[in-house]
A and B are shown apart, each in its own frame.
Chain A
Amino acid sequence: MLGPFPLILMLLLSAVFAPGLPSNLPVAVVDQDGTTLSRQAVRMIDATADLAVTVRATSLGEAQDALVSGAVYAVIFIPQSMGRDLLQGNRPELVTFYNNQFLTVGGIVSRASRQAMGTFSAGVATQALVANGAVPEAAVEAVVPIPVQRSPLFNPALDYVQFLLAALMPTVLQIFITASAALTIGSDVQHPNGMARLTRIGGSSITGIAGKLAPYGLAYLLTLIFADVIIFGAFDAPFNGNIWLHGAYSASFVLACLCLGGMLAMIAGETVGALGLTGVLTGPAFGFAGISFPRITMNTFAWIWGGLLPLTAYLQLRTDQVLRGAPIEVSLPAFGWLLGQILLYGSVLMFLVARSAQVPAKQASIA
């Protein structure tokens, strides 16, 4: 039944993010000036890769409606007499109202708009000022005094798309793996004598459980590798770290999720409850993992809760190794943290299995 389902979801997610950074995001312009200069400003906004002027409104009210209804992500307002004020050196104000409820897009749009205005200000506007004789030509410097260089080593925005995708796929897989373990162990434990039977077939409780979970572990490890193939193959993302460590924590991540799911099944004692617990625990995991909203800004509860999820440790290791190319010793504490989860969830799982396998046996001997 499960077969290709995780793979299909991985491919769908990849397709969503395949176009990369958003471009040509729709914005509205209210040009109350209507001069050559203001038209040039509008053209420069439209010419950016990020923005496209799709609405030309005559009033701010009309443009605001487009913003609220979702037709555009920002309204750029060019006031009346902008051209004249500019030529007289009166520094007219250009205002961008942007949709900050849609936080990601709002950020991209406002940054792009500022940049376009900055280019307009440094180029066209400065030339117009000089041509008008408002300032002496000798005083013009075309340079930005303190440019900020950003290192290509620590990836610029484009890789964010890749990393977001690379983080989303394991998040979805964590749910798959945990839910699969919860379902398979849960269906055994809800049978009377189920655990006793599993232990008998497996030889011991450990081998019984291991035999039960191993096929899932293998299948999901292959799925995780498939996700990596998409990231490093199709998206051509760079890999800067240690490939053996990457393999080791990937396998540990799968194992930790299996132990977690098994443990939840033993706690719930039946499949529906086990899947419900899995949903509550792993459903909101992305928020706790600190990729979207950073862990250093979280409250103590959220920080600890996130620390209990295999995904959080895995994604931190992944950032260390894949992006930062950190030395192995830097990643050892986080790797230990992931192994600790295996130990913790594994022991609780085995303890509960052993107890569940014993109870009916005792009853049988009494009878």
Chain B
Amino acid sequence: MRRFLDAVLDSIFRLFADKGARMTMVVSILIYAFLYPQPYTGEVVRDVPIVVIDQDGSTASRELRRRVDNSDQVAVVAHTDGLPAAQEMFNARKVYGVLIIPPDFEQDLLHGRQSPIAAFGDGSYFLLYGAISSAVSSAANSLGAEIRVSRLTALGVDAGTAAALVSPVVITSVPQFNPNGGYASFAVPAAFILIIQQTLLIGIGIMHAGKPARPGIARVATPTAYILLYTFWVAVTQLLLPVIYGLPQVGHPITLFAIAVPFLMAVTAMGFALVQVIPTREGMIFFLVVQGLPLFFITGVSWPIESVPDPIRWLAMAVPSTSAMSAIIRVDQMGASLSMIIPIVKLQLALAVGYAAIAYALHNWRFPNSS
């Protein structure tokens, strides 16, 4: 046991002695911890600038404008008469949406006719488009409902009946787990699972590509050392970072490590299998660094896994992060219990065993005299 601990410590020292490994497995994680959340520190999209073309200029159209402007999501920054001027502001990125209130807006409403308005947004920026769309819709809905109620009461219908008729049911949406819809709360914990996986794989590449394994106890001690180091990084990125950046974190640490440690075992084993296939340090880094983003989009966290074609989904299951990322998010951000993630824990352990066997077999085939 003592010998084993010494060998683990020795592996850690070797890692710190190698500049490339130190930069990858220690320094780069610290850099990412600062750098990665930066775009998202604002958390939610607020006050998206839009321009209004009010061709009606009536009391009703002013009321609509006021309601749109009053929403958190949108700010009316300009008024113009015509579409060309609005288009110019849009192209110059001074505004990200255009609201058009046509002439006779009020007249039509008063006469009980449909009175459409038009909202142009930029669908390529999903969050901006969503903010504009939702602000305009809720303003139009609330004003429309009020107008219908007042029209009904004018006809002699009592207020309660009028309200029931305009909206017979109350429709409520309650966001769970990330109540403010924060973007950092969504992206940061997930991304660090991938950062952990990729830096661990690259680190193993830097330390071991093209080299035969050191014989004896080191063959077990070295992977153990990496898993221990990265258990620390899991604690830093999944427990400490949420505190620093004020992100929701509800999971129990023990449940977190119950999935995180098998995940790290699978990643480590995969790393040792990969170095047998890609024998150079540069090859390993290159191969892994380009894959971060594609791997992120098949984890189901940012894009629903249900809509990813089955063959790709099954193939991707061979990569530990594919199943582990959403499991860890469920535990840490959504409070899932251990029993809910047991299948993923088993999958990670199976991957660990599978990759370890592959690594062992390939190593002995490539370096027949090493053991």
Contacts and interface: CB of A to CB of B under 8 A. Distances in A.
Interface in A146-202: 146-151, 153-157, 159-160, 163-164, 168, 171-172, 175-176, 179, 183, 187
Interface residues of A, number: 125
A214 interface: no
Interface stretch (A18-26, A336-344, A345-353, A354-362): A18-26
> In the complex, which of the residues A12, A121, A187, A272 has the most CB atoms of chain B within 10 Å of its own CB atom?
A272
> In the complex, which of the residues B24, B117, B163, B171 has the most CB atoms of chain A within 10 Å of its own CB atom?
B171
Interface in B278-314: 281-283, 285-287, 289-294, 297-298, 300-304, 306-309, 312
Nearest to B311: A15
B371 interface: no
Interface in B171-216: 171-179, 181, 183, 185-187, 191, 198, 202, 206
A261 B279 CA distance: 23
Nearest to A179: B286
Nearest to B44: A297
Given A98-B175, A103-B178, A287-B36, A323 B294 contact: no
A286 interface: yes
What is the predominant secondary structure among interface residues of chain B facing chain A? helix
Nearest to A164: B126
Nearest to A145: B144
B20 interface: yes
B57 interface: no
Interface string A270-314: 011101101110111011101111101111011001100000000
B136 A135 contact: no
A191 to B, nearest CB: 14
A90 interface: yes
A62 interface: no
A294 B183 CA distance: 11
Interface string B91-117: 111001000000000000100101111
Given A103-B178, A151-B120, A287-B187, A146 B115 contact: yes
Given A25-B304, A146-B116, A164-B126, 14 more contacts: A9-B291, A9-B294, A15-B309, A68-B334, A70-B330, A99-B177, A104-B304, A121-B171, A138-B155, A144-B144, A160-B124, A279-B285, A291-B125, A299-B41
Interface of A: 1-2, 5-6, 9, 12-13, 15-26, 65, 67-70, 73, 82, 86, 89-108, 110, 113-114, 117-118, 120-121, 125-126, 128-129, 134-136, 138-141, 143-151, 153-157, 159-160, 163-164, 168, 171-172, 175-176, 179, 183, 187, 271-273, 275-276, 278-280, 282-284, 286-288, 290-294, 296-299, 301-302, 305-306, 319-320, 323-324, 326-327, 330
Nearest 7 interchain pairs by C-beta:
A145-B144, A89-B164, A100-B175, A125-B168, A101-B177, A155-B123, A146-B140
